[in-house]
Amino acid sequence: MKNNWKTSLKDQRRRKRRNRILLLCVAVLSLASIVWSFIPKTAVTDMAVVPNVLETEQLSVDKTQPPPPPDNIFVHNISAGDNLSVIFDTMLINQQTMLKILAADEQLLALDVLRPGNRLIFTLDKESRDLESMELFVHLGRQVIYQRIDAAHFESREIDIPGVWEQELVEGEINGSFILSAIDAGLSEQEAANITDLFESRIDFRRDLRAGDRFQVVRSLQAIGGMKTGQSKLIGIRMSGKNYDHDGFLCEDGNYYDHGGKSLARAFRRYPFSGHYRISSSFNPRRRHPITKRISPHNGTDFAMPTGTTIFSVGDGVVTRIKNHPYAGKYVEVKHGENYKTRYLHLSKFLVKRGQKVKRGQRIAMSGNTGRSTGPHLHYELHIKGRVVNPVKAKIPMAASIPKENREAFRSRVAKFTAMMETGEPTQLVHYGQPKMESL
C-alpha cells in the first residue's frame, strides 16, 4: 500500500516534470511567434512557420513527438486595423499576386472586411515559394479558399458548414437603455441593435421603455463539433411594458411578422433605380467571365446605364461598406435588418457614408464604370440570409402582411414560441442544418 503510494507519488512528480517541459515548449513556441512578427521583412523567407493555436494545443496533449511543422504554410491571425496589402508585404508575397487573389474575390468581396478572429493561411509552393493557395478562415462554419489554377489566375471556393442549430430563450428586464439591458441579459450588441431596428416603427426606444419592462428572445445558435461558431439568428422576440406589447417572429420567407401576420419591416423596391434599363448580364452561378473567359459565378445582375444614373437603396437599412476595389470598383453595401443585404458595384460617386442609416428609395450613389468593367453599368446584388440570390426573381418583402402560403406554418410556429416564452422552457433544443423554418 505504502509502496504503491510512493510509486504514484513518483509518477506524479514525473508527470509534473513532463507537463513543465511541455509548458516550456509551448512558451518557447509562443515566444518564437512573437519574435517572428518583429523580424524585418527581408529576413522572413527562411523563417520557421508560425504554429497556429491548434498546433500549439496539440503539442500540449500529444504524448508522442509532434511532426515538425511544414515550412511552406504560414498563418496570420487578423488583428484590428490589419490590411491585406501590408499582410502580403510582410509575407514577402508580391502585390501582383495579391491582385490575382482580389480578382478571384471579385464576386465574393470576402477579403474586403477582415475582422479580429479571422485568420489567413498561406500555402507556398515548396520549390518556387510562389503562393499556391490562401485560406480565409472566417469562423468555424465558414472558410473561403483561393486556389492557384495557373500562373495568372486563382479561383475562389466557399466552404459553408451548416452545423447544428440550438435554440435558447434569453430574457431580461429594462434597466437603463435597451442595448445595455440586452447585453446584460446575454445578447450581443449586434443582436440588440437588430432588435431595435426590427421594432423601430413600433417602439420609440428612447421614450417608451420603462425600468422593469420585459423582453424575451428565442435565439438559434450555430455549433460545429460541439463548438459555437458565434453565428446566431433571432427567431422570436417579445417586448412588453405597461403601455405596449409587441412581438415579432421570423418567417420562412426571411422576414419578421407580428403574431397577427403583419410585417415588421417596410417593403422593398425591386430595382435600385427609376426607369428601365437593359440587363447586360444576368445573375448566373455558372457564367463564363467576359474578360477571363473562365467559369466564374456572376453574383449580381448588370444593368447597362449611362454613368451618373442615380442609384437608390432598395430598402431601409444601414450602409455597412463604402469601398474602392480594383475589380468591383467603387461599391456600396447596405444591410437591411438581419436577413437582407444589397450591393451596388462599379459606381462613379458615393452619396452616403459608412454607418449612415438610409431609407427605402434614398439616393446612395451615382452609377459608373469603375473597376473591371466592359462599359458603364450597375452590378446589383441581393443577399438573403447570407446567400446571394437573383435580385430580379427573388421573393422580397413587397407586401405588408405574411404571404398566404406561409400563413398556416407561421401560425403554429408563433404558438410554439409563445408557449416557450410563457413557460421559459425551450420546446425542442437541437436542429440540424440551416435553421429550416419547418423544423422550428
Which residues contribute to the site for Zn ion (CB under 5 A)? 300, 302, 379
Nearer to Zn ion, 118 or 299 (CB): 299
CB of 335 to Zn ion, least distance (A): 20
Which set of grid coordinates corresponds to residue 371? 473597376
Nearer to Zn ion, 74 or 344 (CB): 344
The residue type found at 173 is: E
Residue nearest to Zn ion (CB): 379
Q: Are 413 and 437 in contact (CB under 8 A)?
A: yes
CB of 360 to Zn ion, least distance (A): 23
Nearer to Zn ion, 29 or 304 (CB): 304
Largest CA distance in the chain: 93
Nearer to Zn ion, 100 or 379 (CB): 379
CB of 222 to Zn ion, least distance (A): 30
Q: How far apart are CA 273 and CA 367, in angstroms?
A: 10
CB of 346 to Zn ion, least distance (A): 8
3-state SS, residue 15: helix
CB of 381 to Zn ion, least distance (A): 8
CB of 314 to Zn ion, least distance (A): 17
Q: How far apart are CA 21 and CA 440, in angstroms?
A: 50
CB of 185 to Zn ion, least distance (A): 43
Kindly state the DSSP code that residue 115 receives in the 8-state scheme.
-
Q: Which residue has the cell 430580379?
A: 392
Helix (H) or strand (E) holding 378: strand 377-384
Nearer to Zn ion, 77 or 390 (CB): 390
Which set of grid coordinates corresponds to residue 233? 439568428
DSSP codes of every residue in 162-221 = --EEEEEEEEEE-SSSHHHHHHHHT--HHHHHHHHHHTTTT--TTTT--TT-EEEEEEEE
Nearer to Zn ion, 300 or 368 (CB): 300
CB of 281 to Zn ion, least distance (A): 6
Q: Are 348 and 369 in contact (CB under 8 A)?
A: yes
Q: How far apart are CA 120 and CA 259, in angstroms?
A: 44
Q: Are 245 and 264 in contact (CB under 8 A)?
A: no
Nearer to Zn ion, 141 or 376 (CB): 376
Nearer to Zn ion, 146 or 283 (CB): 283
Pairing status of strand 214-224 against strand 227-240? antiparallel
